[in-house]
Structure 1
Amino acid sequence: MTAASSPAVVREPDGGPVKPGPSRGVLARAAAGPRTAYLLYVAGKLGGAAVSILAVLVTSFFLFRIIPGDPVKAMTRNRAVSPEQLALLHRQFGLDAPVWQQFTDYCGKALTGDLGISYQFHAPVGELIAERFPATLLLTGVAVVLYSALGLWLGTRSAWRHGQLGDRLNTGVALTLWSVPSFWLGLLLIIVFSVGIGPIPGLFPTGGMESGSATGFAHVLDVAHHMVLPVLTLVAVGYAQTLLVMRSSLLDEMGSDYLTTARAKGLRDALVRRRHAVPNALLPTVTMVFINLGHVAAGSILVESVFSWPGLGGLFYQAIPVPDLPLIQGLFVVFAGAMILMNLLADLLYPLLDPRVGR
């Protein structure tokens, strides 16, 4: 390896073992000005996101082709279909072409926004996703906002009063709910609050998004009534992770010298927590919040299936048994793309929260 290509190293003053130094990207940004350093940081993150999108396209094409089953035979089940008709359907869906040709056609169309035609719905995949997305956005968006705010609030207070009864209670409940499968909790809530058990009557619908043809404010109330149990399921499972991450991050900050200095200046404890400790503990939690926002597109496949919610999660569940390859692939690209986009936004937000990031 030449000197120009060797990684930067730092030698110990006492002649001890050599330790790896900063990466080339960090050194390049350090040598540049603040503005140039940030632009290099942004360019690196954008390049990483582009590579991730290409990896998603490759994965979405090959991963779901290992699902056993023939889509054409599944769609013509219990029907008298001749071999010639089966061959014609395979040709119409492009399933008779070599795999490499199917892959190049798929990537070329996906990069232009064409996700194909659904086998079972006989409609463009993009239109199906656009039709179901508002229901998923409503359900998961409300849940993400609620459990992110709840997790941040409880995590901050648990860490600030760590070791006390409230901290032990919050941590114990969070660990318990974090380990509970969401579909199991959803079924339990349906049994207790929809079907009714003992003295508890059935208060909420068992599934769906609406029950009738109500309009105006009555329709809003009807949708909200149907949302209670699925949102409660998502919040109960989701807030625990945010709480534990925020608690751990804030505990790492609580022994820092700058907090001791702030207290020595006579600042109130609540002010020290709000203005000094919490902002410095937010980076890991910001990542968690943006990942949760990425889940808004994916929704929760299991929760939407349990509550028969007409969103993208239920659509994905319907597409798997066929298998409806264009629909599965399109949903996978949308789900993964949303996660990549949210992670990219979190990376771009980091320098605003901590100027040391990107330098």
Structure 2
Amino acid sequence: MTTASTPAEVVRPREVRTAGEASRTTVAYLRHAAGKLGGAAVSLLAVLVTSFFLFRILPGDPVKAMTHGVPTSAEQLATLRRQFSLDLPLWQQFTDYCAKALTGDLGMSYQFRAPVGELIAQKVPATLLLTGVAVVIYSALGLWLGTRSAWRHGSLGDRLNTGVALTLWSVPSFWLGLLLIIVFAVGMGPIPGLFPTGGMESGDTTGFAYVLDVAHHMVLPVLTLVAVGYAQTLLVMRSSLLDEMGGDYLTTARAKGLRDDVVRRRHAVPNALLPTVTMVFINLGHVAAGSILVETVFSWPGLGGLFYQALSVPDLPLVQGLFVVFAGAMILMNLLADLLYPLLDPRVGR
């Protein structure tokens, strides 16, 4: 005679299967994360090697550039080369550089006679302010307009948005910045000069007036970065969503009676986000690098302008340190995107 199974006995096998699936998913994710972490470490090592040898092929003698216009004897030049370890064999310079870089010591700037780490730390806030604001604005704007353009593809709004985006994406950022300076800073015809031509502040304000002054100086460089950045985000999001719109799951969702807005927001957009997420994280990596050309055009006192100054000498330790920071930020953001992928799409990493 058989006995009836208790509810606990009926449920237990399903619980075991659920726990097993969760365990396999966790193991797969950890394996995926370990692989990505290893790849990031190898990439960072490649950056250290590249940053050392790449800038050694630049024309010019750093010591002669530092003493330009100052009468200097051969003995004094030799002393400076010995002081900055430029008289050592190249392989020894490389091993010393790697050993110090791995401990956070990026060397001493030839041009400013100050630690590279301190110089970078002084310029980071200005770059984060400028490019951080721009990335947030153009990522949100590009995602919104890209979604609307794809969902209404072929409409007048779609053609207009796509045309404007393609035009702005093909425009060099420095040229657009110069154009904005001519029209809105210097003034042209009936348009008066409304904004400063460069810099971050006027230097004679405090408190809330200082905040307004900085915001006033930010308008044109932020507008330049947003105009180019939103175009790229819009086009990528539009293309990704168009690829998803023919999916059978969207037809099924509509057949269930879901409103078109719900189908787009809950089903189509989440599945189209993966390529856009990659691009958004890459743009976040650019926050550390700023935009070298835009910062130079607008005389913005950030990392981009510092890199341009270092490159013109060339100030090898400063150039190398900035290159490592820029590339390291990109590697970190790509790593975070790779770790986020399986959470957005469980098929990734299995």
- 2:54 is aligned to 63
- 2:247 is aligned to 256
How far the C-alpha of 1:216 sits from its partner, in A, is 1.0
What SS does the corresponding residue of 1:356 show, helix, strand or coil?
A: coil
How far the C-alpha of 1:213 sits from its partner, in A, is 2.6
- 1:113 is aligned to 104
Structure 2 residue identity aligned to 1:346: A
How far the C-alpha of 1:212 sits from its partner, in A, is 2.1
Structure 2 residue identity aligned to 1:206: T
Inter-partner Cα distance in structure 2 for 1:100 and 1:274: 56
2:219 to 194, 217, 228: 228
1:306 to 297, 307, 310: 297
How far the C-alpha of 1:335 sits from its partner, in A, is 0.1
Note if 1:334 corresponds to 2:325.
yes
Structure 2 residue identity aligned to 1:117: M
What SS does the corresponding residue of 2:312 show, helix, strand or coil?
A: coil
Inter-partner Cα distance in structure 1 for 2:70 and 2:35: 54
| Corresponding residue pairs, total | 329
Structure 2 residue identity aligned to 1:305: T
Structure 1 residue identity aligned to 2:161: N
Note if 1:346 corresponds to 2:349.
no
1:219 to 198, 207, 210: 210
Structure 2 residue identity aligned to 1:181: P
- 1:78 is aligned to 69
How far the C-alpha of 1:358 sits from its partner, in A, is 1.3
Structure 2 residue identity aligned to 1:258: Y
Q: Percent of aligned positions with the same letter in both sequences?
A: 87
What SS does the corresponding residue of 1:88 show, helix, strand or coil?
A: helix
- 1:172 is aligned to 163
How far the C-alpha of 1:84 sits from its partner, in A, is 0.6
- 1:136-151 to 2 correspondence within 5 Å? 136-151=127-142
Residue deviations 1:248-275 (CA, integer Å, cap 9, x gap): 0000000000000000011110000000
1:188 to 179, 182, 200: 179
- 2:269 is aligned to 278
Inter-partner Cα distance in structure 2 for 1:142 and 1:259: 35
Residue deviations 1:33-72 (CA, integer Å, cap 9, x gap): 2111111100000000000000000000000000001000
- 2:258 is aligned to 267
User: Which protein has the bigger helix share?
Assistant: 2
Give ranges in structure 1 of 5+ residues lacking alignment: 1-29
What SS does the corresponding residue of 2:261 show, helix, strand or coil?
A: helix
- 2:4 is aligned to none
- 1:17 is aligned to none
Structure 2 residue identity aligned to 1:96: D
Structure 2 residue identity aligned to 1:88: T
Runs of 4+ displaced beyond 3 Å: none
Inter-partner Cα distance in structure 1 for 2:90 and 2:301: 33
How far the C-alpha of 1:90 sits from its partner, in A, is 0.3
- 2:16 is aligned to none
Structure 2 residue identity aligned to 1:281: A
- State the TM-score, normalizing by the size of structure 2: 0.93
Structure 2 residue identity aligned to 1:162: H
